[in-house]
Amino acid sequence: MSSRILILSAALVGSLLVLGAPTSASAVGASVVSKSTCTQGTTAMLTLSHDDGHVEAEMELHADKAGHIWKVRFYNETVKALTVSQRMNSEDGGGSLSVSRLLTNHAGTDDITATATNQVTKERCVVRASI
């Protein structure tokens, strides 16, 4: 009987050690994707994911015309985190643009807003997501 208790105790301690072991899953969190249509038909997508204590934010734009310069801004909790101007690259029959940055990961939910304005046509895009 005492050998049975010893075996069960060892099994219980072993399973508790396995349950308490740290995992690397926190660095590979799930992504949040939000899509929007801009004021003149360009499509915008904002992807958020956790990355080593930060929030990675990526805004993608797909338009019918390439070559225009877009001003892209990221806001983290209504505070402007980044402003960058970038020319839209040519793609089959249109253009695409991708801007990605690491933002501060605040305690709780992070509400991220990405905006883009075409500097030629003044088309405006707004995409929001929370992670």
Residue 92: CATH number of its domain: 2.60.40
28-65 tens-digit pLDDT: 458 999 999 999 999 999 999 998 899 999 999 999 88
Residue 9 lies in a domain: no
Residue 103 lies in a domain: yes
Which range, of 14-28, 80-94, 109-123, averages the lowest pLDDT? 14-28
Residue 72 lies in a domain: yes
Q: Is the pLDDT of residue 9 over 60?
A: no
**Cα gap 110→66, rounded to integer Å:** 32
Average pLDDT of 20-32?
A: 46
Residue 86 lies in a domain: yes
**Strand 124-130's sheet: what is its strand order?**
79-87, 69-76, 111-118, 124-130
Residue 19 lies in a domain: no
What per-residue confidence (pLDDT) applies to 29? 53
Which residues have C-beta within 8 Å of that of residue 20, sequence separation ≥ 6? none
Phi-psi region of 18 (alpha: psi -120 to 50; beta: other; left: phi over 0): alpha
Percent of the chain with pLDDT over 90: 62
Number of folded domains that form the chain: 1
What per-residue confidence (pLDDT) applies to 90? 86
Asked if residue 97 lies in contact with residue 61, where contact means CB atoms within 8 angstroms, the answer is yes
**Cα gap 53→104, rounded to integer Å:** 8
Residue 7 lies in a domain: no
User: Which residue range is the domain that position 63 belongs to?
Assistant: 24-130
Q: Is the pLDDT of residue 23 over 70?
A: no
Residue 48 lies in a domain: yes
Residue 32 lies in a domain: yes
Inter-CA distances, 13 with 9, 10, 21, 117, Å: 6, 5, 13, 59
